[in-house]
Amino acid sequence: MVDIAYFSLIVSLALSGYAVVISLLGARLKREEMIKSGERAVLSVFVLLTFASIALFHAFLSRNFQLEYVASYSDRSLPTIYTISAFWAGNPGSMLLWAWLLSIFSAIVIYQNRRKNRELIPYILSILMTTSVFFLAMIIFTANPFKQLNFIPPDGRGLNPMLENPGMYLHPPTLYLGYVGFAIPFAFAMAALITGKTGEVWIRTTRKWTIFAWFFLAVGNMVGAWWAYYTLGWGGHWAWDPVENASFMPWLTGSAFLHSVMIQEKKRMLKTWNMVLIIITFILTLLGTFITRSGVIQSVHSFSQAGIGPFFLGFMGFVLVGSLTLLAFRLNKLQSKGELESLVSRESTFLFNNLILVGLAFAVLWGTVFPFISEAVKGTKITVGPPFFNQVATPLFLILLLLMGICPLIAWRKATPSNLRRNFIYPLVAAIAGAILAYIGGIRLILVLITVLLMIFVTTTIVLEFYRGTKARHRMANENYFKAFFTLIWRNKRRYGGYIIHAGVVLLFLATIGEGYKTEKIVNLKKGESVQIRQYNLKFENLSTFPTASKQVAAANLTVSNSGHLKSITARKEWYPKQEQNWTRVAVSSTLKEDLYIIFSEFSEKGDNATFKIIINPLMIWFWIGGYVMAFGTVIVMWPDRREKLRLATGYTRR
């Protein structure tokens, strides 16, 4: 099976190359049978890579340690659940996952476009399959998951303990769904440039793909943050690590793209800018894979090998130069037909929203690569860590929050002073009153007060949008308020789903406020001894040590008393002899108000005393709730909408 799987990779590479050539030839010579042949080649790649992936899953589950990859990332003691996720624990499996997802998406694109966009399809497939050729070549020549050892080891080396976490089930696949998902709008954009069909068709056709990719990138980032919070054990969820930055950047530019395409759909403007945004986003997804997989940048998330870096850089250069050259050739076809009447209009705020999102992506990229620039210029190495990103990104984030509030309040086309007065008065009054109340309530950190002010401003604008919409429906359709509210959302999924996503973002900001009020304490406790931290009383009950198949566990059992409520929690320290690695499993007790986060640092040989780092993280849970709210909003936006289809089909633009 393994040999056939390897052979299927080689055939997939050949077929991907064939699909590129035959599709381009078919388009050039206008020969439908050639185009069909290209499509069949793509479908064959999908079948072959599905087989190869199943074979790799099978190799892991059957403990086929003759495969170097299986022996390197699993062992007999690894639970089945993590044996499955070991598929994407290293470079070969991750790259195969990339290529496999790409083949699945390509097959879906063929199915979706079997009766439409026929002129674009050969170019779309040739672009997707060029990417497939790159990844398959990398797999076969540098990271072959089916490479066999010339002996069968009795057991494997086991999985990195950091990856033995439920987060690892979701984090890499969701991120890759996002990364690979952006290949589809990119391919459509390039096909639009090649064919000169630079209108709104490619944007409308790929809107769902774009939201899909954006959604999974968001989920991937959230799950990554969740994994870092519960697994890395330093008390935070985002450390501006290069790998975190790598997945955050395409999300930022993808967000800019999602907003910017609305202007093209409504006003036929920003065609060049949208092309630039999708090119940047796709290249950033490649950069994300490159940073995670090449090992060029030291990171806590980098589970990689050196050697693939130059190939990745070469491919990214090829994509960048190729797409920008195409763009340059078609600039005359990308002239805007729309009009913009005023600086103070919703269109302008969208542009500034784009500016801040792209500015943020640039700031993150700049901070990530600045150590290399500095070393090249000064010859000395520097570290660019959280203090840099916090100081540079925070103002931009706050401006983004402000724009998120301003945007829905400003009229399309042109806002008049009376329009501004009418729309801004309530949010402004609510925001100022909220900030004053927060100050009276004891908040003195000026940055927190600014954030509170902006959060209330945005929340009020969102509430007002729902209120005005519901009221209008109640009046026009004579529906009761309850029904009017839900019909409003149901009939305008894109608009109100978007506002729900914005509400989720506000909750993320709410969670970050808590950073300013974090409490940390390091305590050494004897067995039976207690410590009081704020309203929490922590008692170290006992320490139990026991071996498992893969590790030696030391579990510190604690009783937490919070205003009379008792709760038992366990913080663990684990020693993995095979990997010679120590690992900490934190204990977290969450409420809506705050998280009690306990890190088990060390213990005495007799087990009668232990050291803990105790952190109280205010408002932390709102970060995860914000993520769920964003996901809920995205589901609403993505839900099939007959009216939206009709609107787009009739070429409706609100002017």
Partner 1 sequence: MFPSISLNKQARSYSGAFNKRVFLATISTLILISLFVFVTAAQALTATEVAKGFICNCGCQKNLEDCSSTMKECGIGQDLVKIIAQKVSAGEPKAQITSYMMKNYGEKILTAPTKRGFNLVGWLSPFVATAAAAALIYITIFRWARQTPKLARVNKKPGAAKDKYSKKLDDELKKFDY
Sites for partner 1 among residues 474-503 (CB under 8 A): 476, 488, 491-492, 495
Min. distance of Cβ 29 from partner 1 in angstroms?
41
Query: By 3-state DSSP, what share of the chain in percent is helix, strand and coil, each rounded to 5?
Result: 65, 10, 25
> Could you say whether residue 472 binds partner 1 (CB under 8 A)?
yes
Member of 230, 362, 517, 632 binding partner 1 (CB under 8 A): 362
Contacts of partner 1 in 163-182 (CB under 8 A)? none
Query: What is the rounded distance in angstroms from the CA atom of residue 641 to the CA atom of residue 311?
Result: 42
Measured from the CB atom, is 155 or 339 closer to partner 1? 339
Measured from the CB atom, is 530 or 582 closer to partner 1? 582
Query: What is the rounded distance in angstroms from the CA atom of residue 456 to the CA atom of residue 471?
Result: 22
Min. distance of Cβ 261 from partner 1 in angstroms?
17
> Could you say whether residue 564 binds partner 1 (CB under 8 A)?
no
Stretch that binds partner 1, among 48-56, 335-343, 434-442, 559-567 (CB under 8 A): 335-343
> Could you say whether residue 299 binds partner 1 (CB under 8 A)?
yes
Min. distance of Cβ 15 from partner 1 in angstroms?
41
Query: What is the rounded distance in angstroms from the CA atom of residue 474 to the CA atom of residue 486?
Result: 11
Element (H, E) at 580: none
Contacts of partner 1 in 93-152 (CB under 8 A)? none
Min. distance of Cβ 229 from partner 1 in angstroms?
13
Member of 26, 469, 497, 626 binding partner 1 (CB under 8 A): 469
Query: What is the rounded distance in angstroms from the CA atom of residue 144 to the CA atom of residue 108?
Result: 26
Min. distance of Cβ 394 from partner 1 in angstroms?
5
Closest-CA residue to 396 (of 351, 431, 454, 357): 357
- As beta bridge partners, residue 575 has 552, 582
Yes or no: say if 212 and 640 are a contact pair by the CB < 8 Å rule. no
The number of beta carbons lying within 10 Å of the beta carbon of residue 113 is 17
Closest-CA residue to 532 (of 507, 506, 510, 562): 562
Measured from the CB atom, is 327 or 630 closer to partner 1? 327
Measured from the CB atom, is 66 or 611 closer to partner 1? 611
Measured from the CB atom, is 61 or 355 closer to partner 1? 355
Query: What is the rounded distance in angstroms from the CA atom of residue 603 to the CA atom of residue 556?
Result: 9
> Could you say whether residue 473 binds partner 1 (CB under 8 A)?
yes
Q: What letter represents residue 289's amino acid?
A: T
Min. distance of Cβ 591 from partner 1 in angstroms?
23
- Angstrom distances, CA of residue 347 to CA of 71, 216, 265, 414, 621: 56, 27, 12, 9, 35
Member of 3, 32, 155, 520 binding partner 1 (CB under 8 A): 520
Stretch that binds partner 1, among 21-29, 73-81, 172-180, 227-235 (CB under 8 A): 227-235
> Could you say whether residue 348 binds partner 1 (CB under 8 A)?
yes
Burial 118-145 (b: 16+ CB within 10 A, else e): ebbbbbbbbbbbbbbbbbbbbbbeebbb
Query: What is the rounded distance in angstroms from the CA atom of residue 27 to the CA atom of residue 125?
Result: 11
Structure tokens at 590: 């969450």
Member of 156, 224, 235, 254 binding partner 1 (CB under 8 A): 235
Phi, psi angles (nearest 5°) of residue 2: -65, -45
Stretch that binds partner 1, among 22-30, 163-171, 361-369, 632-640 (CB under 8 A): 361-369
Min. distance of Cβ 123 from partner 1 in angstroms?
30
> Could you say whether residue 230 binds partner 1 (CB under 8 A)?
no
Member of 5, 19, 225, 356 binding partner 1 (CB under 8 A): 356
Query: What is the rounded distance in angstroms from the CA atom of residue 2 to the CA atom of residue 309?
Result: 27
> Could you say whether residue 601 binds partner 1 (CB under 8 A)?
yes
Measured from the CB atom, is 52 or 280 closer to partner 1? 280
Query: What is the rounded distance in angstroms from the CA atom of residue 326 to the CA atom of residue 197?
Result: 13
Structure tokens at 280: 């940047």
Query: What is the rounded distance in angstroms from the CA atom of residue 127 to the CA atom of residue 125?
Result: 5
x/- map, 263-282, partner 1, by CB under 8 A: --------------------
Measured from the CB atom, is 20 or 361 closer to partner 1? 361
Is 317 exposed, middle or buried, given 0-12, 13-18 or 19+ CB atoms closer than 10 A? Answer: exposed
> Could you say whether residue 366 binds partner 1 (CB under 8 A)?
yes
The helix/strand/coil state of 574 is strand
Query: What is the rounded distance in angstroms from the CA atom of residue 221 to the CA atom of residue 176?
Result: 11
Contacts of partner 1 in 373-432 (CB under 8 A)? 373-374, 377-378, 380-388, 390-392, 394-396, 398-399, 402, 406, 414-418, 420
Min. distance of Cβ 236 from partner 1 in angstroms?
8
Query: What is the rounded distance in angstroms from the CA atom of residue 1 to the CA atom of residue 61?
Result: 14
Min. distance of Cβ 636 from partner 1 in angstroms?
16
Measured from the CB atom, is 194 or 438 closer to partner 1? 438
Q: What letter represents residue 105's amino acid?
A: F
Min. distance of Cβ 469 from partner 1 in angstroms?
6
Closest-CA residue to 496 (of 505, 506, 511, 486): 486
Measured from the CB atom, is 80 or 391 closer to partner 1? 391
Contacts of partner 1 in 566-585 (CB under 8 A)? 582, 584
Query: What is the rounded distance in angstroms from the CA atom of residue 607 to the CA atom of residue 588?
Result: 22
Min. distance of Cβ 402 from partner 1 in angstroms?
7
Min. distance of Cβ 2 from partner 1 in angstroms?
35
Closest-CA residue to 368 (of 251, 288, 281): 288
Stretch that binds partner 1, among 219-227, 235-243, 307-315, 539-547 (CB under 8 A): 235-243
Measured from the CB atom, is 377 or 440 closer to partner 1? 377
Measured from the CB atom, is 169 or 388 closer to partner 1? 388
# residues contacting partner 1 (CB under 8 A): 78
Measured from the CB atom, is 112 or 589 closer to partner 1? 589
Min. distance of Cβ 156 from partner 1 in angstroms?
24
> Could you say whether residue 162 binds partner 1 (CB under 8 A)?
no
Min. distance of Cβ 308 from partner 1 in angstroms?
21
Say which residues have a Cβ less than 8 Å from residue 81's Cβ, sequence separation at least 6: 169
Contacts of partner 1 in 612-631 (CB under 8 A)? 613
Measured from the CB atom, is 41 or 162 closer to partner 1? 162
Member of 14, 25, 300, 326 binding partner 1 (CB under 8 A): 300
Say which residues have a Cβ less than 8 Å from residue 331's Cβ, sequence separation at least 6: 272
Burial 7-29 (b: 16+ CB within 10 A, else e): ebbebbbebbbbbbebbbbbbee
